[in-house]
Amino acid sequence: MKKSFSSLNLIQYAVGYVFITAGAMKLLSNELSSTFMNLPLPAPELVMYVVAILEILCGILVLINKEVKKATIPLLVIMIAAILLVKIPILHTGFIHFAFAARLDIVMLVLLYILYNSHHK
């Protein structure tokens, strides 16, 4: 039997891909990890590793359609924290600059919200 492909599947694949690659880059990119170290966080290196592992694991769960509702919760928290810690501080440079810099974060929040509400477990 052939399984049908839906818009929700496409959202899951896109969200999974974004978070798996984001988590991997936090672990592999010196530039990204140094940016993370400059954030106003306690123990930024530990937080970076926790965030990276959560992004990879939750991204995989979303990608393979397992525990999607539960997996979206830490990803939503990560995206809200990213907006508050990284994007909001650049508002002083102008709203358009902020809107451009935050575009992926905002789209990911919307897609995570859709995934969270579409899974009823």
Q: pLDDT at position 2, please?
A: 53
Can you give the pLDDT at residue 121? 57
Residues recorded for the chain: 121
Read off the tokens for 13.
């694949």
Which DSSP category does 87 fall into?
I
Match 């052939």 to its residue by tokens. Answer: 2
pLDDT on residue 33: 78
Nearest one of 66, 40, 37 to 49, comparing CA atoms: 37
Q: Do residues 76 and 113 make contact, with C-beta atoms less than 8 angstroms apart?
A: yes
pTM reported for the whole predicted model = 0.88
* Dihedral over alpha carbons 5, 65, 83, 104 (to 10 degrees): -30
- Note the pLDDT of residue 44: 86
Radius of gyration of the chain (CA): 15
SS3 (DSSP) at 21: helix
- What is the pLDDT tens value at each position of the chain, 121 positions in all? 456 678 899 999 999 999 999 999 999 988 877 887 888 888 888 999 999 999 999 999 999 999 999 999 999 999 999 999 999 999 999 999 999 999 999 999 999 999 999 987 5
- Residue 91 phi, psi dihedral angles, 5° rounding: -60, -30
Q: How far is CA 41 from CA 31, 38, 44, 68, 119, in A?
A: 17, 8, 5, 28, 32
68-103 residue pLDDT tens: 999 999 999 999 999 999 999 999 999 999 999 999
